[in-house]
Structure 1
Amino acid sequence: MYITGIKTYMQRVDERPRLLLKIETSEGISGWGECYNHGPDLALPPLLDYLFHQIEGEDPRRVEFLVLKLNQQCRFPPGALGLAAISAIDHALWDIAGKAAGLPVYRLLGGSVRDRVRVYCGVYTAPDPEQVLDQTLKLNADYGYTAFKLSPYRRDLHSGRWGELVKETGDWFGRIREITPSHFEFAFDAHAKVFEPYKAVQLAAAIAPNDPMFYEEPIRPEHIPAWKELKSKVSVPLATGESLYNRFEFLNLLTQQGADIIQPDICVVGGVSEMRRIATIAEAHYVSVAPHNPMGPLATAVNVHFCAAQPNFHVLEFKPHGHAPWARDPYMPVDGYMELRPDRPGWGIEIDEKVLEKDDYVHWERKVTRKPDGSTAYP
């Protein structure tokens, strides 16, 4: 068996762009992968065409060999776009390997260490407590969710006194705890909007009395010593990693003892192969893995297989999709878990190519916050 061609499809999931990759082989077995949309999204198809010529004619089942080749072909370490493209190629190669063997991918990774994969739902906003109650009860009734992620910001960070915002957040979370079922868990994603670490400490102290599941990325990821200091000063589980790219960056974070939970993205770091290396390093540091996954149904399928086989997996991010018509049978939560599909080879998900033939791309770009003085802030 050898690689004969690729196809790329610019699509969307809800209102966010997504790029899907199909790798074709001489035996008629094809595999699918998904890129992270760092932007510029339209740069990904020509980049994948370029990378295809480095793997054309190769045996797709040599996943590690080919992913290493793609990384080593670069004179300098690949960045965001390069690793997003390599991630999709890695996914598609694993899919082919599973289909060729007649096995789900998690069995190629050593088999499952758990029977199902727990998920939490990203709400991402900070609704009034009564709205939080209504939303979470509905998500629990529909999908069995008992874990959710909210924003810790009730208003713009730069309007008014910081201490007022901190107090509002603490009071708000306290009220949520009072009215929601006691077994519900709530995480908070600060989206790296806080520049000063001392402010991140203050916000952590405000949510700490009500037992958050974790406190995600309050500050920027670049300066790892700041994470070491931050972790030493907070009493809540500290999570980060969606903005880190490879095992070396995670090794730096972990040796500095900068996080309790890491959140690598399987569509960012280079795929399953690199994700497993990162997770093994974390396991050696007594740190669990909660993959970042705001992606589409295909990326979710890839994550389910990784999580099924990874010993130090914690919980997977998943928000039900409203628009992804190309996924015929997406993984969906049952009682708050993704069930494995042991009778389906590869990723265990069917992609409708006829739907993909229709251009469904949507442009999206991150909004940049403006401070009252007109300067920009981290979004």
Structure 2
Amino acid sequence: MYITGFKTYMQRVDDRPRLLLKIETSEGIDGWGECYNHGPDWALPPLFDYLFHQIDGEDPRRVEFLVLKLNQQCRFPPGAMGLAAISAIDHALWDIAGKAAGLPVYMLLGGNVRDRVRVYCGVYTAPDAEHAKDETQRLHEEYGYTAFKLSPYRRDLHSGRWGELVKETGDWFARIREITPSNFEFAFDAHAKIFEPYQAVQLAAAIAPSDPYFYEEPIRPEHIPAWAELKSKITVPLATGESLYNRFEFLSLLTARGADIIQPDICVVGGVSEMRRIATLAEAHYVTVAPHNPMGPLATAVNVHFCAAQPNFKVLEFKPHGHAPWAVDPYIPVDGHMELRPDQPGWGIEIDEKVLQSEDYIHWERKVTRKPDGSTAYP
């Protein structure tokens, strides 16, 4: 069996663009992967045209060999765009390998170490406590969720005194705790909007009395010593990693003792192969893995297989999708977990390629926050 072609499809999931890759083979066994759209989105299809020539005619089941080849043919380490493309290729190769063997991918990774995969739902806003109660109860009744993620900001970070925002957040979370079931977990994603680490410490102290599930990415990821200092000063579980690209960056974070939970993205770091290396490094540092996954149904399927086989997995991010018509049978939570599909080879998800023939791309770009003085802030 050998690789004969790549096909790319620019699509969307809800209001975000997504790129899907199909790898075709001489035996008629196809594999699918999903790419992280860092932007510029339309730079990705020609990049796949280039990468195809690096592995054209190769045996797709040699996943490690081919992913190493794609990485090593770069004179300099691939960045966001290159690794996103390699991630999708890696996914598709694993899918082919599983289908060729007649096995789910997690069985090729050593088999499942758990029977199902726990998920949490990203709400991504900071609704009034009563609204948060209603929304989380609805998600619990419909999907069985008992873990959720909110924003810790009740208003614009740059309007008013920082201490007021901190107090409002602490009081608000305390109220949520009062009116929601005691077994519900609430994490908070600060979206790397805080520039000054001492402010991140203050915000952590405000939510600490109400026992947050974890405190995600309060500051930027670039300066690892700041993460080590931050972790030493807070008493809540600290999570980060969606903006880190490879095992070497994660190794720097881990050796600095800069996080309790890491959140690599399987569509960013180079796919399943690199994700497993990163997770193994974390395991050696007593750190758990909660994959970043604001992606589509295909990326979710890939994550489910990784999580099923990874010993130090903690929880997977998943928000139910409203619009992804190309996913025929997406993984959907049952009792707050994704069930495995042991009788389905590859990723265990069917892609309707006919639907992908229809243009359904949507443009999206991150908005840049402006401070009261007109200067820009981290969005």
Q: TM-score range by the shorter chain?
A: over 0.9
1:303 alignment partner AA? N
Question: What residue number does 1:69 align with?
Answer: 69
Deviations 1:160-192 (A, max 9, x none): 000000000000000000000000000000000
Alignment partners' CA distance in 1, 2:242 and 2:18: 17
Amino acid aligned to 2:64? E
Pairing of 1:127-206 with structure 2 (within 5 A): 127-206=127-206
The corresponding residue for 1:56 is 56
Find the counterpart in structure 1 of residue 125 from structure 2: 125
Partner Cα separation in structure 2 for residue 206 and residue 311 of structure 1: 32
CA distance in 1, matches of 2:236, 2:221: 18
Query: What is the number of equivalent residue pairs in this alignment?
Result: 379
Amino acid at match of 1:142: E
Q: Which residue identity lines up with residue 220 of structure 1 in the other structure?
A: R
Once the two structures are TM-superposed, the CA of residue 219 in structure 1 deviates from its matched residue by 0.1
Q: Which residue of 1 aligns with 2:329?
A: 329
2:48 and 2:334 map into 1 onto residues whose CA distance is 35
CA distance, structure 1, for counterparts of residue 108 and residue 42 of structure 2: 33
Equivalences for 1:1-379 in 2 at 5 Å?
1-379=1-379
Deviation, structure 1 residue 322: 0.2
SS of the residue 2:244 aligns to: coil
User: What is the one-letter code of the residue matched to 2:177?
Assistant: R
Amino acid at match of 1:332: I
Q: How many angstroms apart in 2 are the aligned matches of 1:41 and 1:305?
A: 27
TM-aligned CA deviation for residue 344 of structure 1: 0.1
| Cα deviation digits, residues 207-248 of structure 1 (max 9, x gap) | 000000000000000000000000000000000000000000
SS at match of 1:28: coil
**Other structure's SS at 1:277 match:** helix
The 1-side partners of 2:43 and 2:35 are apart by 11
SS at match of 2:64: helix
CA deviations over 1:115-162 (Å, ceiling 9, x no partner): 000000000000000000000000000000000000000000000000
Task: Report deviation, 1:59.
Answer: 0.1
Give the drift of 1:30.
0.2
Q: C-alpha displacement at 1:289, in angstroms?
A: 0.1
Query: Secondary structure of 1:4's partner?
Result: strand
2:330 and 2:298 map into 1 onto residues whose CA distance is 8
Alpha-carbon separation, structure 2, partners of 1:48 and 1:164: 49
- Return the offset for 1:64: 0.1
Provide the secondary structure at the position in 1 that maps to 2:299.
Answer: helix
**Unmatched segments (≥5 aa) in structure 2:** none
Secondary structure of 2:61's partner? Answer: coil
Structure 1 unaligned residues grouped into runs of 5+: none
1:56-78 deviation digits (Å, cap 9, x = unpaired) = 00000000000000000000000
Return the alpha-carbon distance in structure 1 between the equivalents of residues 61 and 31 of structure 2.
Answer: 11
d(CA) in 1 for partners of 2:179 and 2:133?
Answer: 7
C-alpha separation in 1, matches of 2:342 and 2:161: 54
What amino acid is aligned across from residue 325 of structure 2 in structure 1? P
SS at match of 1:24: strand
- In 1, the alpha carbon distance for the partners of 2:346 and 2:41 equals 26
SS in 2 for 1:43: helix
TM-score (norm 1): 1.00
TM-score, normalised to structure 2, is 1.00
- 1:84 counterpart letter in structure 2: A
SS at match of 1:21: strand
- Residue 286 of structure 1 deviates from its aligned partner by 0.1
Deviation at 1:29, TM superposition (A): 0.1
Root-mean-square deviation (Å): 0.2
Mapped partners of 1:183, 1:273: distance in 2? 35
Could you list the structure 1 runs, at least 4 aligned residues long, displaced by more than 4 angstroms after superposition. Answer: none
> CA offset at residue 100 of structure 1?
0.1
